[in-house]
Amino acid sequence: MPENSLAERSARAAQSAGRAAGYCWLEHPDGGAHCTRPPHTGQQHVDYYNGRTSPTDTNGHEWEE
Ligand SMILES: [Zn+2]
């Protein structure tokens, strides 16, 4: 029976938590961000919670994939 590292289990838990919350949750290619749009078509992903330089910014970290 395979033993998973804590990091692997944490990553999987975070993944399902994001999906369960109703997000697209695609991980940014550079890591550290997940798409927080609702599940969508197209390649424009946005993490509304990371990449903002101030709390009043409306856009977060955007990327295409
Ligand atoms: Zn997305």
Count up the domains in the chain and report the number: 1
State the chain's maximal CA–CA distance in angstroms: 49
Give the model confidence (pLDDT) of 14-63 as tens digits: 778 888 889 999 999 988 889 999 999 999 999 988 766 666 666 678 99
Residue 49 in domain: yes
Residue 14 in domain: yes
Q: How far is the CA of 1 from the centre of ligand 1 (A)?
A: 34
Q: How far is the CA of 62 from the centre of ligand 1 (A)?
A: 9
Q: What's the pLDDT at 14? A: 77
Residue 45 in domain: yes
Residue 41 in domain: yes
Q: Which of 31, 39, 38, 20 is nearest to 63 (CA)?
A: 31
Give the model confidence (pLDDT) of 2-23 as tens digits: 678 888 888 888 778 888 889 9
Q: How far is the CA of 51 from the centre of ligand 1 (A)?
A: 15
Residue 56 in domain: yes
Residue 1 in domain: no
